[in-house]
Amino acid sequence: MLQVARLLMDTSVLEFYPTIFVLVTEVMDMLGDLVWERIKQKAEFTEDETRVCTLSENFGASDICFDAKETCNNWFCKVGSVRELLPRIYLELAILPCWRFLHDRPEECLQRVVMMTRGLADPLASSYCRLYMVHCARKLPACDTGYLITCINDIKVLLMRTISTTESPYAYLTDNKKLLVSLMEPTIEYLIKCILNDASQRQLGKILVELGIGKTQLELSGSSPCISIILHHLLKELPTEVVVSNSMEIFDVIRYTNDHSFDQCLNYRLLGFKLSESRSQMEIVNAVVDKVIQVVTEYDRLEDYLTVLDAYMDTILQNQMDDYLNSMLEGIVDRACKKKIVEDELASLQSIMVKLISYFRELGDLFSLNHFLEILDVMYGGSRNVVNMHILSMAMRNGYVCDQTIVKLLFEVSRSLHDGMDLANMKDDESQLPSRLIIRFIQLVDYGEEMEQHLNFLVECRGIFGNLSDLKETLVHSSNALVTKALKGGKNRLSFVKSCVAFSEVTVPSISAHIRQLNLYLETAEVALLGGLVSHADGLIASAMSCLQSLQLEDVGSQIHMEIDGILSSIRKLCSLLVVVPGCIPDQGATNILKGVLSIIHSLSWMTPRMKTRIHCSLVLLSAALSQNKLPYHLHHSEVLGNDMLFFGDTSYASELISFSEPILRYLVDAIDQEPLQTNRGSMALEACNCIASSFKINDDLLMVCYKLIDTAKSCLSVNDKFLQSTIKFLDKRLPPPSPIQVN
């Protein structure tokens, strides 16, 4: 054991010392446990292993027999004979709880060990030895904090000596002071935690005085009343109320602590966070903030300046200390313009900017803040992106963005955010958040009656954010919304409508997803018709049909059903739009577009029987709607005439619709017969039967088709199926009345 303890005498490799300490102290603890159990056994049993007593948890020295005491005393004598001081201390600490077998107040022996540690010259070995002392002392039944305070004060002396030493015997520490202090820091942190653990308010005041920080012993002079690293962990562990109530005194202690064991700006920072955690009196807040601002104004390094100001930002904003805020932001600009900001500085700057954004409610107030935009311009990388996203999120709070100055600023923020995005790895929701924020910003922009400027804004967005497919879709929606807005205004804005439609026509092909292209072409064709641009609408419908022909249904698990529903919805939308599209293309016939849709449907190999059935039903309903003398709905535009007016009384038009419908009925029946699932086949048959019965006057030929579909449904579904029963009743109502019987 002695050889193991001697390992802690070697501090030549500073970095390894904490690891060696852990390994050695584990062995020391094992020794202590073994010795304890051995002495306890001698106290409870005789040599022939006969139990004579059972020691309670709070046994006293009088309960221990002579042999056990003699054995215990021998152990301490053996330890006392060790010549080297450090191993002797560790060995005695390992068996420190065994003093309970000899004394009723074993904690009194601890003070002697505390004095022994003062003989350890090496600061690292000395501090870790005290750490082990605290670990072992906690095993004693009762122990006050006096020895802990002594240990902290002794470490303070060691640190002061180490930091200021340049000659032997500590000269070798000169190049490793920062490393040495960082390795000693865990011991200081643990000791202070033990000192302040469960301490009352009254005890805290006494402890602060004993540590040299209390009011009664504070002498503000050139000498340092405390060591900054000790002060830091003391502030860290002290209750917020204590720190705030003594904030001015603590500020003075920080200010007059001139050593370099710890970065002083972190102590000012910690004081600021403690201040922001409590609702203090304005007098205290003003006094502390004023003093801190005076100190940090002298900082030349931006990192130190930001580190401190970040902690006081919440306090300044909550108490509306505008003068201090302006002074802080001006100080940031002055220091940030001298050199490029590094990563550590960006983190603090990001925190400050986010706090500013969270505090203000109006974008105008934020952007008009002195130096805010200047600071934003010097930021870059991930921190700039975070700040930009917070600004855009703030813009979402108040609805539409109408102020053109704010629009320009947000546009630049969006451009910066877009340029900082990793477009190659936009897969999860978090990585897509910047894109969604930019899209939402564009949706909220409103130029009012200055619609030409709004369109120019959309054009500029397309040029800047052209890599975002979802955003281009938003641009088309916005452009089409401008058309409807212009038409509602009642003014003659045909040229503007043409510009918007042309913008959409150019933008849609750049969107990668064909199904989205299809929907956007149909939407744009609809607004083109509203504006009376029939030729544009025809071209857009042709483009939509080309997209439909290019569609490929990818098998992506459960998502395939969503794609099928989307395609069906789009085709039905196309059919509903064709009701109002004038079908008067020379030499091509009134049903040319309808025939084109039917041809495309038959050319798509991935079309399922269920899809074909529903699409054929839509075409049947479309031809039935077009055959009426008055269409079910019209466009509110005097120059766009519906087919009911273009072909009124034209028998060839009606014949063309009938000839178009006849083959569809055959295709419809064939598609139903191809459905492999029996239940689906029955439902499809009923759906087709309802469509035919509601679209045509029932004659003998159609009646045969309907009955065939009913028979198919009966063979696939239950006789009591509600859909089946309601379809039969509906078909009976649609049958022509029987002819009257002729009596000769």
pLDDT digits (tens, 9 = 90+) for 663-679: 888 888 889 988 888 99
Say yes or no to pLDDT of 657 above 90: no
Say yes or no to pLDDT of 173 above 50: no
Asked if residue 233 lies in contact with residue 181, where contact means CB atoms within 8 angstroms, the answer is: no
For residue 661, which of 579, 591, 559, 716 has the smallest C-alpha distance?
Answer: 591
Per-residue confidence (pLDDT) for residue 214, from 0 to 100: 58
Per-residue confidence (pLDDT) for residue 175, from 0 to 100: 56
pLDDT tier at 445 (50, 70, 90 boundaries)? very high
For residue 545, which of 593, 487, 603, 580 has the smallest C-alpha distance?
Answer: 593
pLDDT digits (tens, 9 = 90+) for 350-374: 999 999 999 998 899 999 999 999 9
Say yes or no to pLDDT of 123 above 50: yes
Say yes or no to pLDDT of 61 above 90: no
For residue 661, which of 636, 635, 624, 707 has the smallest C-alpha distance?
Answer: 624
Whole-angstrom Cα distance, residue 617 to residue 498? 35
**For 149-155, what is the mean pLDDT?**
90
Say yes or no to pLDDT of 91 above 90: yes
Per-residue confidence (pLDDT) for residue 561, from 0 to 100: 60
pLDDT digits (tens, 9 = 90+) for 389-423: 999 999 888 788 999 999 999 999 999 999 888 76
Whole-angstrom Cα distance, residue 688 to residue 705? 10
Whole-angstrom Cα distance, residue 152 to residue 227? 10
Per-residue confidence (pLDDT) for residue 273, from 0 to 100: 92
pLDDT digits (tens, 9 = 90+) for 502-517: 999 999 999 888 888 9
Higher-pLDDT residue of 209 and 706 is 706
Whole-angstrom Cα distance, residue 110 to residue 294? 46
Provide CB contacts within 8 A for 739, sequence distance 6+: none
Whole-angstrom Cα distance, residue 684 to residue 709? 9
Asked if residue 106 lies in contact with residue 100, where contact means CB atoms within 8 angstroms, the answer is: yes
Whole-angstrom Cα distance, residue 328 to residue 317? 12
User: Poorest-confidence range of 25-34, 201-210, 343-352?
Assistant: 201-210
Q: Which tokens is 197 given?
A: 């653990």
User: Poorest-confidence range of 64-78, 238-252, 643-657?
Assistant: 643-657
Per-residue confidence (pLDDT) for residue 557, from 0 to 100: 43
Bridge partner list, 51: 45
Q: Give the three-state DSSP class for 45.
A: strand
Whole-angstrom Cα distance, residue 417 to residue 371? 20
pLDDT tier at 736 (50, 70, 90 boundaries)? low
Burial of 619 (0-12, 13-18, 19+ CB in 10 A): buried
pLDDT tier at 744 (50, 70, 90 boundaries)? very low
Per-residue confidence (pLDDT) for residue 168, from 0 to 100: 38
Instruction: Share the mean pLDDT of the chain.
Output: 85
Residue position matching structure tokens 């910003």: 441
Amino acid present at 723: F
Asked if residue 724 lies in contact with residue 713, where contact means CB atoms within 8 angstroms, the answer is: yes
Q: Please state, for a pLDDT cut of 70, what percent of the chain lies above it.
A: 91
Burial of 549 (0-12, 13-18, 19+ CB in 10 A): middle
Say yes or no to pLDDT of 743 above 70: no
**Structural domain boundaries in the chain:** 560-734
Provide CB contacts within 8 A for 375, sequence distance 6+: 329, 332, 333, 336, 349, 353
User: Poorest-confidence range of 196-205, 521-530, 593-602?
Assistant: 196-205
pLDDT tier at 255 (50, 70, 90 boundaries)? confident
**For 686-700, what is the mean pLDDT?**
86
Asked if residue 181 lies in contact with residue 187, where contact means CB atoms within 8 angstroms, the answer is: no
Per-residue confidence (pLDDT) for residue 426, from 0 to 100: 58
**For 295-310, what is the mean pLDDT?**
91
Per-residue confidence (pLDDT) for residue 738, from 0 to 100: 54
